[in-house]
Amino acid sequence: MNIMKKLLLILAGTLLTANTQAQNSGYTIWFDQPNTLENRAIWLKASGSGYNPDKEWESTSLPLGNGSLGANIMGSICAERITLNEKTLWKGGPNTAGGADYYWNVNKQSAHVLKDIRQAFTEGDQKKAAELTRKNFNGLAEYEENAENPFRFGAFTTMGEIYVETGLSEIGMNDYRRALSLDSALATVSFHKDGVDYQRNYFISYPDSVMVMKFTANRPEMQNIAFSYCPNSEATGKIQADGNNGLLYTGKLNNNQMRFALRIHATHKGGEMTVKDGKIIVNGADEVVFLITGDTDYKINFNPDFTNPKTYVGTDPAETTLAMMKQAAAKSYEELYRNHLADYTNLFGRVQLHLNPHAPMTLQYPAVKDLPTYQRLARYRKGQPDYQLEELYYQFGRYLLIASSRPGNLPANLQGLWHNNLDGPWRVDYHNNINLQMNYWPACSTNLDECVLPLVDFIRTLEKPGEKTAQAYFGARGWTASISGNIFGFTAPLSSEDMSWNFSPVAGPWLATHLWEYYDYTRDKKFLKETAYELIKSSANFTVDYLWHKPDGTYTAAPSTSPEHGPIDQGATFSHAVAREILLDAIDASKVLGVDAKERKQWQHVLDHLVPYQIGRYGQLMEWSEDIDDPKDEHRHVNHLFGLHPGHTVSPITTPQLATAAKVVLEHRGDGATGWSMGWKLNQWARLQDGNHAYKLFGNLLKNGTLDNLWDTHPPFQIDGNFGGTAGITEMLLQSHMGFIQLLPALPDAWKEGAVKGLCAKGNFEVDITWKNGALEEAVIFSKAGATCQVRHKGETLTFKTGKGKTYRITTENGKLKKQ
């Protein structure tokens, strides 16, 4: 190799390192030590809580994703280990050995038992009512794989792992850095060894449907690597050469014969490359780029054929991955990265948050910004302020939603998109009793409404199966779903007789409220008319039919539960709060579209006669129909505060007595819990407009419910707490759920100065806010739909008409709001 080429390569490597450092200078999660390879392919079938033995993966890996394909970067030296996921790779469904009849035979025909249960409640025989519910309102499918053969509910499972052996060791290695830039969705691994600077770049592109891996160094001929793939051990498949520069793995899951494929394409500069024995081997190269595409044959189906075992089976993934690879391989690394960056930053860059930007760093740690993230988190746990770490956590939630929920695939699941075992905690499923819903709390308010569309599609898959569940258990019109869902339209309760977690008739209506939420933020009338309304209407009709119309004229949810907590009841507050929300949504939607006046009248009648919220002997908002709350109970679920958040029927502005009662509940439950629960309480304290208490919950979530890579932990890792945390911070700064925009409703004393740009409010407004010395300085409101705008701040209200595409500046003068 001539001297000029060597110099150019060294210069290119130096520039690449500088560019990456510049990209990582914003919001970055990083580690200064490599992971080991001790836990390669520890693929376990989870039981119970799904303890994960691979703590490095859980707490120190870096997640990448494009909504379909996911990866975790481990950053080992001698061999890079990358876990892979494709969000639709699921066991279970009608294509298991039992076939369609077996799969769909999961609903008990129990509607006729309702009269006996309600008669028992009338007679005061709680024990009989509970026993009848336990025996008749569970389902026929098991939740544990070893309890049923074939296993029909299924589980999200790993696609396998990639290993890139480097021929290097950690001996003599220094300046190690494994980083994830939230600003660019680019992960990098860099280190210095034997006089050479090595760097690896990773990203997963949504526009080009490909994962890209680039291995470089600042000296030529340093890349001596071998790429191999270890597939899911519960699959049968083969790996073969794909031309002279690639590999193709095609396999089928043993449980349901779901086909999946992984296709790898490699290019190199300098050196030699061979494809042999299932490996891509490169020697003496200056640079190596790997492209990876993955897919399954899953087909989303909004109108499944209940007699066809292949109703969710679509295109051969060997074909789809080939098409994706042809498109991607025709582009250079630079073009792929530009496409990725433009697509990603269009979403991520919409919101900026700055908390106490001029606050000095502590004298003990003047360079705190330069500390690895886990060290900053350790300092924070000891009470050291770090407002940029709080910003980082906030933006990480937005990053995770972009990475795990993009149009064209399913919504984010219990772990978003990332999973490294054959089975995982709670099957890594779609938990419909808060977890799935919490994943989407920050979507619209933080300007990521596109990310809601996978949830919309998922809800659409539940409608037809959910109609069967509604009819079987309640003799009801419409559709509903139960606690646990999969990608194959599963809406029934599971076989367990533990109704504390396995019975929630209003799980479907709760999901349906997200359809109105999306409309209310976007004001997309076409979406409401063509997609959302019939689902909302059908859900409201189910709610009307499910509720017990008692002889005294009231309506109550009998039987009902407070999910994962307490007894079977004849009117759990949670169920009533959800019923209120979906009925209000249906009423509003029908008014917007000018349809269904007759149904609207019925919905309003039921709403007007629904058993009201009740305040108990401790001054608390009662959780059940009887005053049996225990003030020493610190259970993680606070279901009965649904009306406070995420609903809007309890508010310190409109129902101050109920809001005070809700506060008593939160005080009783305490400020600790699992990660996601602290995220929910954070939102509820923000809705109570207690900024300091909300900030305490945020601090507890970050200190006690967050892993070193900033993933939420239940434990184990469960992603909903990240989304709940980001949503809660937004609620502290902006609220619009009560029909008006409220500025800084729960600003804590700790955030003396700050600015947030790009938040969204219902009515299709975009809002920027700045504050100083704890007081509003100005708000800039951009009207996207031309709706009337009402702004509220510290008891003052300002209402004005807006023009579509117009911007308005709001300030305060002598305590009064002023529009400029």
Beta bridge partners of 261: 250, 295
Rg for the chain, CA atoms, rounded: 27
Q: What does each C-alpha distance from 185 to 24, 62, 299, 583 come to in angstroms?
A: 10, 10, 28, 40
Quote the tokens at residue 106. 């999961």
Taking residues 80-105, what's their average pLDDT? Answer: 98
Report the distance separating Cα 420 and Cα 157, nearest Å: 8
Q: Find the CATH number of the domain harbouring 176.
A: 2.70.98.50
SS3 540: helix
DSSP state of 71: E
Residues 6+ apart with CB under 8 A from 635: 564, 565, 669
Classify residue 197: in a domain, yes or no. Answer: yes
Of the pLDDT bands very low, low, confident and very high (cuts 50, 70, 90), residue 6 is very low
CB atoms within 10 A of CB 185: 26
Contact 184, 29 (CB under 8 A): no
Single-letter code of the amino acid located at 256: N
pLDDT at 571 over 80: yes
140 residue type, one letter:
L
Average pLDDT over residues 357-382: 83
Compute the distance between CA of residue 553 and CA of residue 66 in angstroms, rounded to an integer: 51
Q: At what angle do helices 507-522 and 533-546 cross, to 10 degrees?
A: 150
* pLDDT recorded at residue 10: 39
Whether the per-residue pLDDT at 366 is higher than 70: the answer is no
Residue carrying the six token digits 């490095």:
56
* 229 and 296 share one domain: yes
362 and 335 in a single domain? The answer is no
| Residue 470, phi then psi, degrees to nearest 5 | -60, -40
Q: Looking at this protein, which amino acid is placed at residue 119? A: Q
User: What is the mean predicted confidence (pLDDT) over 237-263?
Assistant: 97
Q: CA 382 to CA 61: how far, in whole Å?
A: 24
Strands 789-793 and 741-743: parallel
Tell me if 257 sits within 8 A of 98, measured CB to CB: no
- Burial of 396: CB neighbours in 10 Å, binned 0-12, 13-18, 19+: buried
251's tokens: 């396999």
Tell me how far apart the alpha carbons of residues 291 and 682 are, in angstroms, rounded to a whole number.
41
Considering the domain architecture, whether residues 166 and 217 belong to the same structural domain is answered as: yes
pLDDT at 53: 84
Q: 147-161, 181-195, 364-378: which range is least confident on average?
A: 364-378
Per residue in 783-797, pLDDT tens?
Answer: 999 999 999 999 999
Q: State the CATH number of the domain containing residue 773.
A: 2.60.40.1180
Which SS3 state, helix, strand or coil, does residue 374 take? helix
Domain range for 691: 618-730
Judge whether 810 lies within some domain: yes
Residue type at 563 in one-letter notation: P
Whole-angstrom Cα distance, residue 59 to residue 52?
11
The answer as to whether 688 is a domain residue is yes
Q: Which of 730, 765, 780 is the last residue of a domain?
A: 730
Q: Does the residue 145 lie in any domain?
A: no
Confidence band (pLDDT; 50, 70, 90) for 365?
low
CA–CA dist 394, 698 (Å, integer)? 10
Q: Are residues 12 and 85 in the same domain?
A: yes
The amino acid at 793? H
651 and 792, same domain (yes or no): no
Domain boundary among 299, 329, 348: 348
In one-letter notation, the amino acid at residue 146 is N
Q: How confident is the model at residue 370 (pLDDT cuts 50, 70, 90)?
A: confident
Instruction: State phi, psi for 201 to the nearest 5 degrees.
Output: -115, 140
Q: d(Cα 571, Cα 20) in Å, to the nearest integer?
A: 57
Same domain, 762 and 666: no
pTM, entire model: 0.96
Is 746 a member of any domain? no
Task: Look at residue 5 and tell me whether its pLDDT is greater than 60.
Answer: no
pLDDT at 359: 85
pLDDT of residue 50: 54
Q: What is the mean pLDDT of residues 423-444?
A: 96
Name every residue whose Cβ is closer than 8 Å to that of residue 630 and which is 6 or more positions away in sequence: none
Q: Round to whole Å and give the CA distance between 751 and 772.
A: 9
Distance CA 401, CA 450 (A): 10
In a domain, 173, yes or no: yes
- Is there a single domain that holds both residue 652 and residue 779? no
Calculate the CA 705 to chain-centre distance.
Answer: 16
Residue-wise DSSP of 754-769: EEEEEEEETTTEEEEE
pLDDT at residue 558 is higher than 90: yes
What is the average pLDDT value for the chain, to the nearest integer? 95
Q: Report how far residue 5's alpha carbon sits from residue 220's, in angstroms, rounded to the nearest whole number.
A: 9
628 CB neighbour count, 10 Å cutoff: 13
Q: Give CA–CA dist 500/61, Å, rounded.
A: 35
pLDDT, tens only, 618-668: 999 999 999 999 999 999 999 999 999 999 999 999 999 999 999 999 999
Q: Which is nearest to 396 in space by CA: 726, 659, 667?
A: 726
What is the spatial distance between Cα 661 and Cα 772, in angstroms, rounded to a whole number?
32
Straight-line distance from the first to the last Cα atom of the chain, in angstroms, rounded to the nearest whole number: 67
Q: How confident is the model at residue 20 (pLDDT cuts 50, 70, 90)?
A: very low
pLDDT at residue 687, as a whole number: 98
Give the model's pLDDT for residue 100. 98
* Rounded distance between C-alpha atoms, residue 286 and residue 223, angstroms: 6
Give the mean pLDDT of 278-298.
98
The DSSP 8-state label assigned to residue 673 in this structure reads -
The amino acid sitting at 632 is K
Mean pLDDT across 391-400: 98
Mean pLDDT of 754-762: 98
Same domain, 654 and 679: yes
Question: Which residue's entry shows tokens 């009608």?
Answer: 94
Nearest to 492 by CA among 510, 478, 480: 480
Domain finish residue from 313, 348, 383: 348
Q: Is the separation of the CB atoms in 518 and 449 below 8 Å? A: yes
Number of domains in the chain: 3
In this prediction, residues 586-607 reach a mean pLDDT of 98
pLDDT at 529 over 60: yes
Residue 64 lies in a domain: yes
**CA 429/CA 451 separation, integer angstroms:** 18
Tokens of 5: 């080429």
Note whether residue 814 is domain-resident. Answer: yes
- 29 and 43 share one domain: yes
Q: Which helix (H) or strand (E) holds 537?
A: helix 533-546
Given a cut of 50, is residue 24 above it in pLDDT? no
List the structure tokens of 693: 């208490």
Is the domain of 263 the same as that of 357? no
Residue 17 pLDDT level (bands cut at 50, 70, 90): very low
Res 490: pLDDT:
98
Residue 271 φ/ψ region, left for φ over 0, alpha for ψ in the -120 to 50 degree band, beta for the rest: left
Are residues 240 and 312 located together in one domain of the fold?
Answer: yes
Identify the residue with better confidence: 363 or 10: 363
Q: How many CA atoms lie within 13 A of 30 on its CB side?
A: 26
Which of 57, 67, 24 has the alpha carbon at shortest distance from 417? 67
Tell me: pLDDT of 9 over 90: no
* DSSP 8-class letter at 782: E
Report yes or no: 265 and 280 within 8 Å, Cβ to Cβ: no
pLDDT, residue 26, reads: 87
Residue 254 and residue 236 in contact, taking contact as beta carbons nearer than 8 Å: yes
Do 52 and 171 sit in the same domain of this protein? yes
